[in-house]
Amino acid sequence: MTRLIVWRHGNTDWNAANRVQGQTDVELNALGRQQAVDAAEILVKLKPDAIVASDLKRASDTAAALGALTGLSIGYDKRLRERWFGAWQGLTMPEVAERHPEQHARWTAGQEVGGDVETLEDLGKRVADGLRDAAAEAPAGGTVVVATHGAAARQGIGHLLGWPVEQLRTLRALQNCHWVELTRDDKRGWQLAAYNVGPFSDRPVPPPV
């Protein structure tokens, strides 16, 4: 049975300000760097066989904290990047609501946003493809840790599991430096073993953007 850990990056100043990051390359802040270290001290106990990360700094630097403890080199995959939010990137959510009210209303309702925002279908497919290839890095029965982003993680695992958008909306957003555990075997395919696992469970949840 292969185990896949899908790990959201640590906190950034844009998370703290409720600002849409998308594929803007925002770095971890001091809290995020500490979160990465604390989470890595838990994840290292899972004895990962491989670590793969989005190439955006907030994810790759999060992965580096685990790499430092395991001695594993980190693979990078652009398919694991966050959703492309187009003109929303850099705006706070109140600013999005003011400047793009129709798009914001569709986003709030869980619908496709339109405009230059990446579709949920495209996001789910590209991230799931990256997750499958990452999982293949482990030997049979091994464990792979993937450092990625909030919206990317949720949509990617949903695509792997074959869940409709409506079912995915029942999952709370991943907290910074929390993760999802998936397992796969030949008989049952992909299964969700755990969700939103990690330290800092009492902290507010920044939106997965």
Task: Render 87-155 in DSSP notation, one character per residue.
Answer: GGTT-BHHHHHHH-HHHHHHHHTTS---TTSPPHHHHHHHHHHHHHHHHTTSPTT-EEEEEE-HHHHHH
Question: Is 12 flagged in the annotation as binding?
Answer: yes
Distance CA 12, CA 135 (A): 27
41, 82, 121, 181: which is the annotated catalytic residue? 82
- Annotation marks residue 112 as catalytic: no
9, 100, 104, 178: which is the annotated catalytic residue? 9
Question: Is 79 flagged in the annotation as binding?
Answer: no
Q: Which of 164, 166, 178 is nearest to 208 (CA)?
A: 178
| Residue 66: C-alpha distances to residues 26, 150, 195 (Å) | 20, 18, 19
- Annotation marks residue 118 as catalytic: no
**DSSP bridge pairs for 192:** 182
CB atoms under 10 Å from CB of 125, counted, come to 15
Sequence length of the chain is 209
Question: Is 10 flagged in the annotation as binding?
Answer: yes
Question: Is 8 flagged in the annotation as binding?
Answer: yes
**Helix crossing, 120-135 with 150-161: angle to 10°?**
80
Question: Is 92 flagged in the annotation as binding?
Answer: no
Question: Is 15 flagged in the annotation as binding?
Answer: yes
Distance CA 152, CA 56 (A): 12
Binding residues for substrate: 8-15, 58
Binding residues: 8-15, 58
Catalytic residue ranges? 9, 82
